[in-house]
Amino acid sequence: MSGTVRVGTRASALALTQTTTVAESLARLGGVGYELVRVSTTGDVNRASLSQIGGTGVFVAALRDALLENACDVAVHSLKDLPTGDADGLTVAAIPERADIRDALCARDGLKLADLPAGASVGTGSPRRAAQLKAARPDLSVIDIRGNVDTRLARVAGLVEGGPGDLDAVVLAAAGLSRLGRQELITEYLEPSFMLPAPGQGALAVECRSADAGSSPFAEALRRYDHAPTRLAVTAERAVLRRLEAGCTAPIGALATVDGGLLTLEAVVCSPDGSALLRRTQTTRELTVDGAASVGVVLAEELLAGGAAEIAGLAVTS
């Protein structure tokens, strides 16, 4: 790679802030300049419900094509939007240190989850969030919403100026809100004890062509930018999703933490209406990428044995 690295990004405000942060760090580590290459994806253009568009990778495919067509040198993804299967010819060369993993409630009038009145309307486009919300508060009315972070915030009564304000609250990723400087709109951080995040939530992935991952000043910068504990954690989380043959729209949460030589992985599989939650934990001391992937598979097998496929309506083939 030459003196300027071309960094592919989605054009949403969230993607642009994420990508700019990554590009600046990489440029500094590699002693190169950077330019942003904006790519629009199906997930951005199509306003249908995420569960309707279905499949995986709606936010990712166009960025991957841009890499393969040599329109950019690296692409920055939200890791939770990245399909669990490998893409031919591409490598996730760096997973930087993860931000806040939690989901966050942004409610009207400073309300917390427990303060919302019976029947209050809470917006989310995520079956995982919807199911865990209904499990915690079966009396709430959970509304399927789409759109970028600001569009969603505008649905909450009195939260931001000029919005429709037709909902009492929305649930969004804390990481996205703080990257956008919208942290002050969070009225409660939802603890993973009852709201497990999406596999990979709060983490980013920097993908490049496999041919470029080997040696160049820039490849070395990518290696140094990689954060080993984050890579282990998200590898374990994504292995659960992969074994369950599910994507980012499945009602599945997973969270791994690495502490004192031990990786602890928790996962939950939900029925869409939140009436059944199957939640299990596994640990490993094998702190390698293979060890992390293995513990994810072990946990997924345990969930399957407990009826995960039936509970979440998954079509698991083996």
| Least separation in angstroms between CB 172 and ligand PBG | 4
Tokens at residue 68, please? 């393969």
156 binds ligand PBG (CB under 6 A): no
Active site residue ranges: 81
Please select the residue that binds ligand PBG; options are 9, 56, 91, 201, rule is CB under 6 A: 201
Q: Is 249 in the site for ligand PBG (CB under 6 A)?
A: no
Q: Which of 94, 172, 240, 254 binds ligand PBG (CB under 6 A)?
A: 172
| 199 is a contact residue toward ligand PBG (CB under 6 A) | no
Query: What is the per-residue binding string for ligand PBG in 59-98, x denoting contact by CB under 6 A?
Result: -------------------x-xx-----------------
Tokens at 130, concatenated: 């919807």
User: Cα 101 to the chain's mean position, in Å?
Assistant: 9
Q: How far is the CB of 36 from ligand PBG (least distance, A)?
A: 18
Q: What residue number has its CB nearest to ligand PBG? A: 176
| Side chain identity, residue 228 | A
The CA distance from 60 to 206, in Å, is 12
Task: Give the one residue of 173, 213, 254, 267 binding ligand PBG; rule: CB under 6 A.
Answer: 173
Q: Tell me if 105 contacts ligand PBG by CB under 6 A.
A: no
Number of residues that bind ligand PBG (CB under 6 A): 9
Q: What's the CA gap between 47 and 57, in Å, rounded?
A: 15
Residues 268-287 that bind ligand PBG (CB under 6 A): none
- Residue with Cβ nearer ligand PBG (30 or 199): 199
What CA–CA distance (Å, rounded) separates 318 from 308? 13
Q: Which long-range contacts (CB under 8 A, 24 or more apart) does 80-83 make?
A: 80/173, 80/198, 80/199, 80/200, 80/201, 80/203, 80/248, 81/43, 81/57, 81/248, 82/57, 82/200, 82/205, 82/207, 83/56, 83/57, 83/247
Residue 102, interface with ligand PBG (CB under 6 A)?
no
Give the residue, chosen from 76, 142, 156, 175, that forms a contact with ligand PBG under the rule CB under 6 A. Answer: 175
Candidate list 30, 127, 176, 192; residue touching ligand PBG; CB under 6 A: 176
- CA–CA distance from 247 to each of 77, 84, 184, 240, 271 (Å)? 15, 8, 31, 10, 15
Closer of 124 and 284 to ligand PBG (Cβ): 124
Residue 175 CA to residue 163 CA, distance in Å, equals 22
Query: With CB under 6 A as the contact rule, which of the stretches 89-97, 158-166, 171-179, 184-192 interacts with ligand PBG?
Result: 171-179
Q: Which is nearer to ligand PBG, 106 or 298 (CB)?
A: 106
Provide the terminal-to-terminal Cα distance of the chain, rounded to the nearest Å.
42
Q: What is the DSSP letter of 75?
A: E
Q: Which stretch binds ligand PBG (CB under 6 A): 3-11, 168-176, 184-192, 289-297?
A: 168-176
Residue 32 and residue 277: Cα distance in Å, rounded?
48
236: left (phi over 0), alpha (psi -120 to 50) or beta: alpha
By three-state DSSP, how is residue 97 classified? coil
User: Residue 203 Cβ, how far from ligand PBG at the closest point, in Å?
Assistant: 6
Which of the ranges 86-94, 169-177, 232-240, 255-263 carries the binding residues for ligand PBG, by CB under 6 A?
Answer: 169-177
User: Which residues make up the interface to ligand PBG (CB under 6 A)?
Assistant: 78, 80-81, 172-173, 175-176, 201-202
